[in-house]
Structure 1
């Protein structure tokens, strides 16, 4: 049972296995910079909880986790660097500097036993956990910043959901997080099978930036899990490999879905496997040869309307290069009003050119991180689709851009051209296909996506403190250069030259 308040909550752990289970669950939400203070009498369970957390982060139940009583600190090079401190033998708070507490918190998680010996030297954001004996078990009192407590309350809510839906006691292990607020866990079932848990809480809207709407609404990002459930049903009904949903709480944003495994369309060196990319393009060609309803009924009585990839969404995405890339490139100097006006006018004209192009369901991020290779399956079932909650009705060319100009890995020009040719062949075989119109649309959407991404990488760096995405910049600048090869892109090409955007003329 959990009792909640704005600054603290507590729960009862009936036995050692419950303490271990809580430590394993806690491993799912720790992040670099977290400091967790564990207090309690000898034998209260501090080391048991710490050991369970460390082993779960390392995903190794046999990981040797000795007590740091005599060494004062033990470090672990696991998914997130972990530092386990025992301050029982600390003689003066100044010794914390020698232990490297501040350095450890820069990139890792610190667990501190006997934190009272630190005499107030722990960070203000520390999460405090006090274990005390209660009956045959332990009472755990937790206090700390509300943001961290909210994460813990969410953690327990997911565990309660699993218990209520027949997954009591299942082991949860971190799977992946993405550039959004979603996170994924792998659930290890007693029969050795695995499922995936999607943790996607509804997020509050950001500030309005245009027409009284926040960015997420302008570009039609999913605000809860209902769009995922709807598009999943749509794809499965058409015979595509989208995961089966085993349990759902649509209001809380919790789904238990089929685990497609970890197969990739990349090889062990992270390079494209041509045959797998070709299979993905073949799947896409079949997808684009189907027709889909725009209204999808859900089990809770609501209906999901697939939004249109409209003018406002395309423009505000493209403008990310104005808002973020140009100031970054110019050392803080923003685009001039005239530069902005010219850019917007160019895009209004290009979007007008899309008026007669083919439109269908656009999955939006059809590229290597979101395609699971299912070696044991056949045909289109080999191509597992897992990320489509932001799907829209828009130019079919967009998803082909996403895969042949993969934002995360370089698809070299010969392979890109081969994949395009294969797609065109299949579309012609499946029925009427206006290749000339499609090619024009492809170049426009390639440029739109490249403008968005070359701004997004900077936004992730500067606003969201996620610098790793910047390594993709040279690739997506090259993608922009390829997009600008079509004659219709001449005005945008000239604009980029005058603005000083260094499009890459050769592959990165």
Structure 2
């Protein structure tokens, strides 16, 4: 059927290259015919709902093109078989620009925000649903059903969401494309005006409160929009921060359930990587809307297990090669053997045992040796010409990760007992904590040559206390990396982040029940090996 369709359209001999799809079941192929390209979309149409989705895509696309906007032009269509041959708008998404060219990304995001009022001003196409505040709040029920939350919580949350929409997001509904985010927007600099933004994935359009698409743009669970850019886009709009927060909250509470379903039921496990950031965006919204804090926090507690907090781990292995003396003259410290294997492998084994999806290792001194040592599925982040310090290392690592939650391990420590990462992930409560550090009491710190690091209170909150504290940091932590991501510096210490978290009451500690050894100095090797030998 596809070959016949392409033949009738004059693209029978085109070279075909599959391209990444989206959250749907649609398939996409890029076609090459000489210097020309086109996109073949193969959409399911077996059910009434899937056929309606395809019809909506064509209907909304035609409306957008009539407005002079860059929705892909149709070259040929066989809707009964779900086939559309359409214009290729390229692959320069706004998400791509955020990663590769932040300066152009700023221009493109501002162009996208400027486009949205054009959608609001024109009469919308016919046939779109226009949910009222109660019906919008009910869109979150998908997440509530998946979380099996109590009926009392459901009622309390939905009522509060409806009230927030009535209070902060009133006014006549306007056309909303709904999935306006970096992956669905393309930068077309050769075009003029609003046509510089290519539009994709608009078949779920509705009539919603003005500002919904801006909330979608600035609070993207898949990509971190820089805080400064987010502030500019909102301040230059006609919308209050409370309105954006209310609309973003509705959207991301629903997305929380959608991403969970995609990762667990639809064989798309990478969507789990986005759940920590989705939760962080939800928490941002309730900071703006304190009346929703209690029911939203209760929902997040019921869904804590979904994200498997921190799918990414950074092993901090970048040093100067000085503390170990002659042992590191020709060898980086992470490759020194302790109890029969390199220090770095101890950390790698912990990360793998905790089922970490993405492991990263930073390196500086003799970085080439570390690169050669690492298996191919581990990302090596070489810091050159200068070392980035711990905060800079986290900021750099998050450029290669989704979401905001990260586990880090220092490569010059050895743990014997329960898996440190598993303990941290289980205990991390992002509604209360920005950083959770794994500690041991000073008297159980094997190989420690310095004093304490922290005092810890009955609730687990930490205070930096080098003089008369009680506990030592073991080099394992789980943290919300957003403060590091947003730091304008490239080289800085995580100590700055910890101090800020302490001031907000969001720096916590967890006491490790096993044994731990500091191998940051030569004498620590024998102490760590003795510890490992006695561990059963």
TM range (shorter): 0.5 to 0.7
Task: Report the CA distance between 1:291 and its aligned residue.
Answer: 2.7
The answer as to 2:42 corresponding to 1:176 is no
Query: Any stretches of 5+ residues in structure 2 without a counterpart?
Result: 302-429, 435-479, 483-536
Structure 2 vs 1, CA of residues 242 and 478 (structure 1 numbering), >3 Å: closer, same or farther?
same
Matches within 5 A, 1:270-309: 270=99, 273-289=102-118, 290-295=120-125, 305-309=127-131
Partner residue of 1:232 out of 57, 61, 78:
61
Task: Report the CA distance between 1:361 and its aligned residue.
Answer: 1.0
Give the Cα separation in 2 of the matches to 1:267 and 1:371.
10
The answer as to 2:11 corresponding to 1:167 is yes
Partner residue of 2:32 out of 168, 183, 188:
188
Contact 1:263/1:372 (<8 A) preserved: yes
Give the Cα separation in 1 of the matches to 2:138 and 2:6.
39
Alpha carbon RMSD of aligned pairs, Å? 2.6
TM-score (normalised: structure 2): 0.53
Structure 2 vs 1, CA of residues 295 and 500 (structure 1 numbering), >3 Å: closer, same or farther?
closer
Structure 2 vs 1, CA of residues 373 and 245 (structure 1 numbering), >3 Å: closer, same or farther?
same
Structure 2 vs 1, CA of residues 227 and 498 (structure 1 numbering), >3 Å: closer, same or farther?
closer
Contact 1:224/1:250 (<8 A) preserved: no
Contact 2:93/2:184 (<8 A) preserved: no
User: Counterpart in 2 of 1:495?
Assistant: 295
Q: Which shifted more, 497-506 or 195-204?
A: 497-506
User: Counterpart in 2 of 1:197?
Assistant: 40
The answer as to 2:206 corresponding to 1:392 is yes
Contact 1:475/1:507 (<8 A) preserved: no
Deviations 1:438-486 (A, max 9, x none): x433111111111112222211122112110111112111111221123
The answer as to 2:259 corresponding to 1:457 is yes
Local SS of the residue matching 1:180: coil
Matches within 5 A, 1:435-454: 435-436=239-240, 439-454=241-256
Give the Cα separation in 2 of the matches to 1:271 and 1:399.
24
Contact 2:139/2:254 (<8 A) preserved: yes
Partner residue of 1:347 out of 158, 161, 175:
161
Contact 1:321/1:451 (<8 A) preserved: yes
Give the Cα separation in 2 of the matches to 1:175 and 1:185.
6
Partner residue of 2:226 out of 393, 412, 435:
412
TM-score (normalised: structure 1): 0.55
Task: Report the CA distance between 1:201 and its aligned residue.
Answer: 2.3
Structure 2 vs 1, CA of residues 310 and 252 (structure 1 numbering), >3 Å: closer, same or farther?
farther
User: Counterpart in 1 of 2:379?
Assistant: none
In the alignment of these two chains, the number of paired residues is 307
User: Counterpart in 2 of 1:83?
Assistant: none
Contact 1:478/1:507 (<8 A) preserved: no
Local SS of the residue matching 2:52: coil
Give the Cα separation in 1 of the matches to 2:299 and 2:140.
15
Structure 2 vs 1, CA of residues 278 and 420 (structure 1 numbering), >3 Å: closer, same or farther?
farther
Task: Report the CA distance between 1:390 and its aligned residue.
Answer: 1.2
Task: Report the CA distance between 1:310 and its aligned residue.
Answer: 4.2
Task: Report the CA distance between 1:254 and its aligned residue.
Answer: 1.2
Local SS of the residue matching 1:164: helix
User: Counterpart in 2 of 1:265?
Assistant: 94
Structure 2 vs 1, CA of residues 269 and 394 (structure 1 numbering), >3 Å: closer, same or farther?
closer
User: Counterpart in 1 of 2:460?
Assistant: none
